[in-house]
Amino acid sequence: MSVEKVKQSYSDVQKEKIFETEFLPHINSMYNFAYRLTFDEDDAKDLVQETYLKAFRFLNSFQQGTNAKAWLFRILKNSFINDFRKKSKQPPKIDYQEVETYYNSDSVDVSMTTDLRVETVQHMIGDEVSNALNALAVDFRTVIILCDLEGFTYEEMSKILDIPIGTVRSRLHRSRNLLKEKLQTYAKSMGYNK
Amino acid sequence: MATNLFNWLKQSVLGRSSCKRCLELLELITDEEASPEEVKHFHNHINECLPCYESYNLEKSIKEMLQTKLEKKQVPDDLIQSIKLKIRNNL
């Protein structure tokens, strides 16, 4: 999956075929991921386009028949961090306190801190869920999207994000606790959970 | 009243090592990353432990909520064409 791997040398016909059959089928997931990172339709379009053009340019680093979706997501994530966030008009929304608390706690805490109930969760509507997810800092939001929405394995996530599997697990755990807190706050404000 | 009882139960299991192990496995189970032995251990435990069973249901319902309730955007029609055009010009 990494760019340092053995280079292939595909013909133009092969390149077009790989692009059509292995890359383009993931465009729906890619666009939704991009939108959840940028919160803007035009930015999401640009990011997806940039990702696909890069993927094509570096196609010789891709081994046919391997995990194209993870490879594309990795390029998209890196494009977002390296180029896109700098160019974007919007400053990144980061809750530094959250990030700091997270990086200062290296142990995975096992706790049942939430009073959130299954019935409350089941009553939530799309906008409420979306607001809670979008309120998370981008690193936390990303692992939830990759794992719960896109169904990537821990190992795939580790490659997409360039972090060890242990970090994937602890970041997921932390992200889910933060999401529960947001949902809980929301539920309280709506008078659920009495 | 029921909530108080539930909270009391929750507190009381925090100190139990079998529950601690169970909660460590929780996300591995819902993410389908646990080994067969871990899955077995986990299900044996939640069969007889209500608070852990509740935690499992909550974790599962949040995952389901994310999968079913978030709006999925349609890719704009012109995006694929625009990408293909740019690539063809590069070949």
pLDDT by position in tens, chain B (length 91): 566 776 666 656 555 788 888 989 999 999 999 999 999 999 999 999 999 999 999 999 999 999 999 999 999 989 999 999 999 887 6
Q: Which domain does A42 fall in, by range?
A: 12-87
Q: Can you give the pLDDT at residue A65?
A: 86
A50 within domain boundaries: yes
Please tell me whether residues A66 and A142 are part of one structural domain: no
Q: In the block, which residue shows the tokens 């142990």?
A: A107
Chain B CB contacts of A48 below 8 Å: 75, 79, 83
Q: How many domains does chain A have?
A: 2
Are the CB atoms for A71 and A160 separated by under 8 Å? no
Residue in the block written with tokens 């009882």: B5
d(CA A6, CA A29): 27
Q: Rounded to 5, what percent of chain A is helix, strand, coil? A: 70, 0, 30
Which chain B residues are Cβ-neighbours of A19 within 8 angstroms? 87
> Could you tell me the CATH number of the domain that includes residue A149?
1.10.10.10
Tokens of A45: 């379009």
Q: Could you list the residue range(s) of the whole structural domain that residue B27 is in?
A: 2-90
CA dist A40 and A42 (Å) reads: 6
Helix axes B77-90, A27-38, angle to 10 degrees: 110
CATH number for position A75: 1.10.1740.10
B75 closest CB neighbour out of A16, A28, A108? A28
Residues A63 and A28 in one domain: yes
Which of A148, A155, A157, A180 to mutate to test binding with chain B, by most B CBs within 10 Å of its CB? A148
A137-189 pLDDT tens trace: 999 999 999 999 999 999 999 999 999 999 999 999 999 999 999 999 888 88
Q: Is the pLDDT of residue A24 over 70?
A: yes
Measured in angstroms, the CA of A141 and the nearest CA of chain B are apart by 12
Q: Is residue A194 one of the residues assigned to a domain? A: no
The number of angstroms, rounded, from the C-alpha of A81 to the middle of its chain's C-alpha atoms is 12
Which residue among A63, A87, A111 closes a domain? A87
Assess if residue A6 is contained within a domain: no
Amino acid type, A31:
Y
